Amino acid sequence: MRDVAVISFAQAKNQRRVADLNEVEMLMPVTGQVLDQVGMTIDDIGFTCSGSSDYLAGVGFSFVSTLDGVGPWPPIQESHVEMDGAFALYEAWVKIQLGEIDTALVYCYSKSSPGDLPMVLTRQLDPYTVAPLWPDTVSLAALQARALIDAGRTTEPEMAEVAARSRRSALDNPNAQLAWDRPAGDLLTEDYHVAPLRKHDCAPITDGAAAVVLAAGDAARRRVERPAWIRGIDHRIEPMALGLRDLTVSASTRLAGEKAGVADGPVDVAELHAPFTHQELILREALGLVDHQNVNPSGGALSANPMLAAGLIRIGEVATRISSGEADRGVAHATSGPCLQQNLVCVLEGES
């Protein structure tokens, strides 16, 4: 295996709605910054991989016009995933492992605001028997939360604690969309949004973008003092049919965590991509981080959830803390699909 590191990370300020810019205009400052930070241009990049979804933009092949923002002429080596940027990072990591290239630019973005997001996301469900019912994402997550509560594995007060802690942590995150300091007890007095979920249990709808630069071995060491090395990365998928899964556990996260080697060393920081409070509890259990004290110091997806980018942001947040020396070893997680269907786990580490 080649040593591959995250050497640069940038993200847009997360907002409920970016009304004046199109996707490429929103993205360009981010891809520009991520390269500038390490003194690189697109000419120094061996492979570019992006994550976005035409369903969110409501425009076919929207990723093609966004590619203009990195300057793809003369032609560059490039790929795209209709998934979170974390999965684009995985593709880029594999490409670097093949040995043909030493550097990669990974970027992702979404404007979730143009459409009705919970309805748009129904289109990822089984097209014959489930999608025609238009079950929105919040309702599906509420089913999952209900199953977890009924199994005696969480309570509404415990979920409110996750919400309160995440939004409090977000006060230190200048890119966060939702940040406030309210006691969990107060939150429980609010009405249900979709029972047993209250609004604070749900991630906000966010427009945003993020980018990462990966580099192998000396190409990384040459450019930054303390690269955040990817020590393990793995992703797994569960069946499409929700009825085939035990929604109270995340078997795919557990397996990905084992393969990525989460338990092989101390975890100083973990960023888990949990768009709903109860999902953080499921993920903690799957990764052996039930009582961990430093989960989602950025505020997590509950404080900003740009679709297709919130997973890569988790990796970027951990990498930034490693590169700054704040942490030595960390875990980043990204999810995709309804009720934590697909999960990616990445273990990052700094050199002493």
Partner 1 sequence: MTAAASTPHSEGAPLAITLPASLQGVELVRSVRTPAQLDYQFTAGAATSRFLRGIAQKKILGERCPVCGKVYVPPRGACPRDGVPTSEQVELPHVGTVTSFCVVNVAFYGSSMELPYTSANILLDGSHLSLMHLIQEIPADQVRIGMRVEAVWVPDDELKPTLESIKWFRPTGEPDDVNVDIPGEDHGTGLGSWVGGVAPIDPRGTH
Site for partner 1, rule CB under 8 A: 18-25, 28, 31-32, 42, 55, 57-59, 65, 67-73, 111, 113-116, 119-120, 123, 127-128, 131-132
Name which of 122 and 323 has its Cβ closer to partner 1: 122
CB of 246 to partner 1, least distance (A): 26
CB of 22 to partner 1, least distance (A): 3
User: Which 3 state secondary structure label does DSSP give 197?
Assistant: strand
Residue 39 is which amino acid? G
CB of 88 to partner 1, least distance (A): 18
Tokens of 328: 């030595």
CB pairs under 8 A, 24+ apart, for 112-116? 112/56, 112/205, 112/206, 112/207, 112/306, 112/307, 113/16, 113/17, 113/18, 113/19, 113/205, 113/207, 114/56, 114/57, 114/58, 115/55, 115/56, 115/58
Name which of 140 and 170 has its Cβ closer to partner 1: 140
CB of 82 to partner 1, least distance (A): 16
Tokens of 221: 């060491």
Name which of 48 and 341 has its Cβ closer to partner 1: 48
Tokens of 40: 């690189």
Cα torsion 145, 330, 182, 291: sign: positive
- What number of other Cβ atoms are within 10 A of residue 153's Cβ? 15
Name which of 114 and 288 has its Cβ closer to partner 1: 114
Residue 334 is which amino acid? A
- What number of other Cβ atoms are within 10 A of residue 161's Cβ? 17
CA distances from 62 to 59, 66, 108 (A): 5, 7, 12
Name which of 71 and 288 has its Cβ closer to partner 1: 71
User: Which 3 state secondary structure label does DSSP give 68?
Assistant: helix
CB of 206 to partner 1, least distance (A): 15
Name which of 68 and 172 has its Cβ closer to partner 1: 68
CB of 193 to partner 1, least distance (A): 22
CB of 338 to partner 1, least distance (A): 17
Name which of 23 and 285 has its Cβ closer to partner 1: 23
CB of 68 to partner 1, least distance (A): 4
Tokens of 102: 């030493």
Tokens of 34: 């991520």
> How far apart are the two ends of the chain, measured CA to CA in Å?
20
CB of 240 to partner 1, least distance (A): 16
Q: Could you write out the three-class secondary structure of 126-190?
A: CCCCCHHHCCCHHHHHHHHHHHHHHCCCCCHHHHHHHHHHHHHHHHHCCCCCCCCCCCHHHHCCC
Name which of 47 and 87 has its Cβ closer to partner 1: 47
Name which of 58 and 325 has its Cβ closer to partner 1: 58
